[in-house]
Amino acid sequence: PPHPSKPRAARWDHHLSAESAAREPCVLKSAAAKHLGRPGLISLGGGLPCPEYFPFESISMRVPRAPLFSERETAESGVDVTIGKYDASAAGGEDKVYDLSIGLNYGQATGSAQMLRFVTEHTEIVHDPPYADWRSCMTVGSTGALEQAFRMLCDRERGDSILTEEFSFSTALETAAPLGARIVGVPVDEEGLVPARMDEILTGWRPEERGGMRKPHVLYTVPSGQNPTGTTQGEQRRREVYDVCCKHDVYIIEDEPYYFLQMDPYAGPEAAAGGGKEPATTTAAPVDPAQTPVDEFLDRLIPSLLSMDRDGRVLRLDSFSKVVVPGSRLGWVTASEQMVERFLRHAEVANQGPAGFSQLVLHRLLDEEWGHEGYLRWLMRMRREYTARRDVMLAACDEALPREVVSWNAPAAGMFHWLKVDHTQHPDAGSKSIVEIEEDIFDRCIDKGVLVARGSWFVAEHGRPPTNLFFRATYAAAQPDKMTEAIRRFGKAVRESFRL
Ligand code: PMP
Are both 180 and 250 inside the same structural domain? Answer: yes
Nearest-CA residue for atom 10 of ligand 1: 142
Secondary structure E strands in 68-213: 79-84, 134-139, 161-165, 182-186, 188-189, 192-193
Residue 272: predicted pLDDT: 35
Nearest-CA residue for atom 5 of ligand 1: 227
Residue 276: predicted pLDDT: 40
Q: Is the pLDDT of residue 283 over 80?
A: no
Residue 33: predicted pLDDT: 77
Evaluate: CB of 142 within 6 angstroms of ligand 1. Answer: yes
Answer yes or no: is 238 within a domain.
Answer: yes
Interval 421-475: pLDDT, tens: 999 999 999 999 999 999 999 999 999 999 999 999 999 998 899 999 999 999 9
**ipTM beyond 0.95?**
yes
Are both 75 and 126 inside the same structural domain? Answer: no
Are both 379 and 420 inside the same structural domain? Answer: no
Q: Is the dihedral of CA 201, 203, 204, 207 positive or negative?
A: positive
Residue 284: predicted pLDDT: 43
Q: Which of 193, 322, 325, 358 to mutate to test the pocket of ligand 1 (most atoms within 8 A of CB)?
A: 322
Residue 39: predicted pLDDT: 85
Q: Is the pLDDT of residue 277 over 50?
A: no
Q: Is the dihedral of CA 163, 168, 169, 175 positive or negative?
A: positive
Q: Say how many Å lie between the CA of residue 310 and the centre of ligand 1.
A: 26
Q: Say how many Å lie between the CA of residue 228 and the centre of ligand 1.
A: 11
Interval 165-189: pLDDT, tens: 999 999 999 999 999 999 999 999 9
Residue 43: predicted pLDDT: 80
Q: Is the pLDDT of residue 289 over 80?
A: no
Residue 49: predicted pLDDT: 92
Interval 386-430: pLDDT, tens: 999 999 999 999 999 999 999 999 999 999 999 999 999 999 999
- Domain enclosing residue 95, as ranges: 27-37+44-103
CA-based end-to-end distance of the chain: 64
Q: Say how many Å lie between the CA of residue 164 and the centre of ligand 1.
A: 15
Evaluate: CB of 331 within 6 angstroms of ligand 1. Answer: yes
Looking at residue 405, the DSSP 8-state letter turns out to be T
Are both 120 and 237 inside the same structural domain? Answer: yes
Q: Is the pLDDT of residue 2 over 70?
A: no
Are both 134 and 282 inside the same structural domain? Answer: yes
Are both 362 and 411 inside the same structural domain? Answer: no
Q: Say how many Å lie between the CA of residue 85 and the centre of ligand 1.
A: 33
Q: How many domains does the chain contain in total? A: 3
Are both 305 and 200 inside the same structural domain? Answer: yes
Q: Kindly report the backbone phi and psi dihedral angles of residue 390, in degrees, each rounded to the nearest multiple of 5, phi listed first.
A: -60, -40
Answer yes or no: is 450 within a domain.
Answer: yes
Interval 189-203: pLDDT, tens: 999 999 999 999 999
How distant, in Å, are the alpha carbons of 39, 86, 368, 483 from that of 114? 21, 16, 10, 40
Answer yes or no: is 468 within a domain.
Answer: yes
Looking at residue 149, the DSSP 8-state letter turns out to be H
Q: How far apart are CA 455 and CA 164, in angstroms?
A: 16
Nearest-CA residue for atom 14 of ligand 1: 321
Evaluate: CB of 326 within 6 angstroms of ligand 1. Answer: yes
Q: Please, which residues bridge with residue 138 across strands?
A: 332
Q: Which of 146, 171, 226 to mutate to test the pocket of ligand 1 (most atoms within 8 A of CB)?
A: 171
Are both 88 and 227 inside the same structural domain? Answer: no
Q: Which of 350, 383, 416 is the last residue of a domain?
A: 383
Coil, helix or strand for 491? helix
Percent of the chain surpassing pLDDT 70: 94
Are both 73 and 145 inside the same structural domain? Answer: no
Looking at residue 230, the DSSP 8-state letter turns out to be -
Evaluate: CB of 223 within 6 angstroms of ligand 1. Answer: no
Q: Which of 383, 416, 445 is the last residue of a domain?
A: 383
Evaluate: CB of 220 within 6 angstroms of ligand 1. Answer: no
Residue 274: predicted pLDDT: 38
CATH of the domain at 492: 3.90.1150.10
Are both 313 and 355 inside the same structural domain? Answer: yes
Answer yes or no: is 8 within a domain.
Answer: no
Answer yes or no: is 108 within a domain.
Answer: no
Q: Which of 103, 128, 151 is the last residue of a domain?
A: 103
Are both 372 and 393 inside the same structural domain? Answer: no
Interval 11-52: pLDDT, tens: 999 999 999 999 998 888 788 778 877 888 888 877 889 999
Q: Is the pLDDT of residue 278 over 50?
A: no
Answer yes or no: is 486 within a domain.
Answer: yes
For residues 51-68, one letter each, b for 16 or more C-beta atoms within 10 angstroms of the residue's C-beta and e for the rest, the string is beeeeeeebeeebbbbbe
Evaluate: CB of 227 within 6 angstroms of ligand 1. Answer: yes
Answer yes or no: is 406 within a domain.
Answer: yes
Confidence at 74, pLDDT banded by 50, 70, 90:
very high
Answer yes or no: is 373 within a domain.
Answer: yes
Residue 459: predicted pLDDT: 97
User: What residue type is 305 in one-letter code?
Assistant: L
Quick one: which atom of ligand 1 is closest to the CA of 326?
A: 14
Evaluate: CB of 143 within 6 angstroms of ligand 1. Answer: yes
Are both 146 and 236 inside the same structural domain? Answer: yes
Quick one: which atom of ligand 1 is closest to the CA of 319?
A: 15
Q: Say how many Å lie between the CA of residue 226 and the centre of ligand 1.
A: 11
Q: Say how many Å lie between the CA of residue 407 and the centre of ligand 1.
A: 26
CATH of the domain at 235: 3.40.640.10
Looking at residue 65, the DSSP 8-state letter turns out to be B
Evaluate: CB of 321 within 6 angstroms of ligand 1. Answer: yes
Looking at residue 226, the DSSP 8-state letter turns out to be -
Q: Report the number of secondary-structure helices (H) and strands (E) in the chain.
A: 16, 15
Q: How far apart are CA 196 and CA 253, in angstroms?
A: 19
Residue 28: predicted pLDDT: 80
Indicate the helix (H) or strand (E) that contains 251: strand 251-255
Percent of the chain surpassing pLDDT 90: 84
The average confidence (pLDDT) of the chain is 93
